Amino acid sequence: MTFQKSPIMVLMLILFLTLVGATVYRVITAVETDPGMVVEDAYLSGERYGEVLAAKRKLDEQGWVLDFLVPELTLYQTHQTYKVNISQHDQALKNAKVVIDFERSVGPKHRFSTPMKFDGSLYIAQISLPLKGRWNAVVKITKDSFSHGDFKALCAVVDKNDKGCDRYKGKYIR
């Protein structure tokens, strides 16, 4: 009996190759999307987060408004404008030190910071993200004893057709 004449053997081979292919696909997907985030001191970081929220509430009560404006579509290896408007009662905060930090959740290897320049009403920086994928953008504003900040989660993609970080949205993530 030859191999081609045994339908059971052909089906078993197809099933085996399908399972191997699916396993390889899942391993590649897991390696690409694993954020690798581990928090050693989860309780203490939770307490610190509570302190951050209390400080933010206090600044909101004092009338401080922080608008952290990022590009609608974050493209990698393309210079894009990031803007910060920090004001109290419609008066912009001048002469502050404003720094924007970019970091990836997979590690500090590609972490970088850029100072932002004041143009009369907004703090502005031109930034090009070196890699595709998820980025955390953290803006820090300090002046004398005043400090404020904000955070945005970004996904750098090639172009508007690139599904990038949202390729599983709706399918596996709600």
| DSSP per-residue letters across 14-36 | HHHHHHHHHHHHHHHHHHHH---
Rounded Cα distance, 110 and 102, in Å: 8
Which pLDDT tens digit goes with each residue over 86-102?
999 889 999 999 999 99
Q: What is the mean pLDDT of the chain?
A: 86
Percent above pLDDT 70 for the chain? 90
* Winning range, highest mean pLDDT, from 3-7, 31-35, 147-151: 147-151
Looking at residue 1, what is its pLDDT?
Answer: 55
Q: Range with the lowest mean pLDDT among 35-39, 60-64, 140-144?
A: 35-39
Looking at residue 3, what is its pLDDT?
Answer: 62
Measured in Å, how far apart are the chain's first and last C-alpha atoms? Answer: 52
Radius of gyration from C-alpha coordinates of the chain? 24
Contacts of 101 (CB under 8 A, 6+ apart): 111, 112, 113, 137, 138, 139, 140
Is the predicted pLDDT of residue 35 greater than 70, yes or no?
no
Looking at residue 30, what is its pLDDT?
Answer: 83
Which pLDDT tens digit goes with each residue over 112-154?
999 999 998 899 999 999 888 888 999 999 999 888 889 898 8
What is the token pair recorded at 109? 């290897």
Looking at residue 173, what is its pLDDT?
Answer: 44
Rounded Cα distance, 96 and 148, in Å: 11
